[in-house]
Structure 1
Amino acid sequence: MHDWNSPEEIQRDAVTLGRLANILFGLYMHEFLCSLRFDWDFFTRKRSLQLYLVPYFVGRYSLMIGLACLFAMHDSSASMYCAILYPITFFTELAAVCASITFGIRT
């Protein structure tokens, strides 16, 4: 039987999660930077802000904050801090809720 609580297994899982965090953060930052012009048009008031875009922007920036926290957690040290998992969970779940709201509004 495999021991899931062994230090070697926990370290292997932490390394895997760190690599996954790097990949997800890199993919999201690529998408974020490619569509930054759309955000810039709202910030410079070239486009008007409609009410249905508020969940889009909240979800977009909350996912960026959640992935940045996940990236920082594994970039800072090898040990895992459980206290930072709460903001990561909050921001990623908020992004999922906002994505569902945006999808519901569009359909």
Structure 2
Amino acid sequence: MVNWSDPTEIAKDSLVFQRLIFAIFGVCLWELFTTCGFEWSLITRRRQFRWPLVIFFFLSRYCILLAFIGLIISLSVTTQFPSQALYTFNGWAGNMTILCASTSLMLRTMALWERRKSVVIPLSLLCAAHWGLLYRTMFIVHAAWEETASACVVVQTSPGILNVTFFFTMGFDFVILCFTAVALISKHTARTDLWKLLFNDGLVYFLVTFSCNCIPAVLNILNLNSKILIFLLER
């Protein structure tokens, strides 16, 4: 049985966390470079802007990059710096990534349902609540510089609000997933290939989004140690 509170285990988790951040940052940069043709097609007007979807698309793409840059700074610096400002920025960038990604998926779902009021109204209400909740969690982390460790440490947070945030985000994405699945299935015959439904019609993106939000929700409830909590705060 792993003792998650053991200092050796916490140090190991910290190392894994740092390596994971750098690895995902590399994947993020690779994805941005390989898909930059989309941005260029918008700049050269070969592709039309679709308001407001394109705004959320760009925000989600570049806010995640800013969030990782902020994380890497917080992990790399060894001299005193304004820790609270950096953690607030990281919280803003990370939450904006989640909000814009979920909103983009919601707008696509509404389009699939041809903007029926029975779909638009409940999804819009859930989206408004989602924005309000995640906006609140941008400012719940209080950090300070620790002289002995020469690092920035989290001194206060609100686990209860985090639990609500994680599960609300997971539930919101699940509702979007269900609406999307029903809309796509109803537009196809019984002989429609599952691969086409998942990848050509984009259902896999909804599945991945929902699955990724399950992980922090479960880890936050388990509350294994401080390093994992920091990872969740900076997700």
Q: 2:63, 2:93 within 8 Å by CA — same for their partners in 1?
A: yes
* Equivalent residue letter for 2:64: L
In structure 2, the residue matched to 1:54 is 55
In structure 2, the residue matched to 1:31 is 31
In structure 2, distance between residues paired with 1:91 and 1:34:
22
In structure 2, distance between residues paired with 1:14 and 1:92:
20
> Within 5 Å, which residues of 2 pair with 1:1-107?
2=3, 4=5, 6=7, 8-51=8-51, 52-77=53-78, 82-83=83-84, 84-107=86-109
Q: Give the structure with higher Rg (CA).
A: 2
In structure 1, distance between residues paired with 2:22 and 2:4:
27
Of the two structures, which has the highest relative contact order with CA contacts closer than 8 Å and spacing of 6 or more? 1
Give deviations 1:63-84, integer Å, cap 9, x for gaps.
Answer: 11111111222233499x8422
Partner-residue secondary structure (3-state), 1:33: helix
Q: 1:18, 1:75 within 8 Å by CA — same for their partners in 2?
A: no
* Equivalent residue letter for 1:19: R
In structure 2, distance between residues paired with 1:85 and 1:25:
18
**4+ long deviations beyond 4 Å:** none
Q: Which runs of 5+ in 2 are unaligned?
A: 110-235
TM-score by length of 1: 0.79
Q: Cα distance, 1:25 vs. partner?
A: 0.3
TM-score by length of 2: 0.39
* Equivalent residue letter for 2:105: F
Q: 2:63, 2:94 within 8 Å by CA — same for their partners in 1?
A: yes
In structure 2, distance between residues paired with 1:5 and 1:41:
52
In structure 2, distance between residues paired with 1:19 and 1:5:
20
**Count of equivalent residues:** 104
Q: Which runs of 5+ in 1 are unaligned?
A: none
In structure 2, distance between residues paired with 1:64 and 1:102:
18
Q: 2:4, 2:10 within 8 Å by CA — same for their partners in 1?
A: no
Give deviations 1:40-84, integer Å, cap 9, x for gaps.
Answer: 1212333221212111111111111111111222233499x8422
Q: Cα distance, 1:3 vs. partner?
A: 7.7
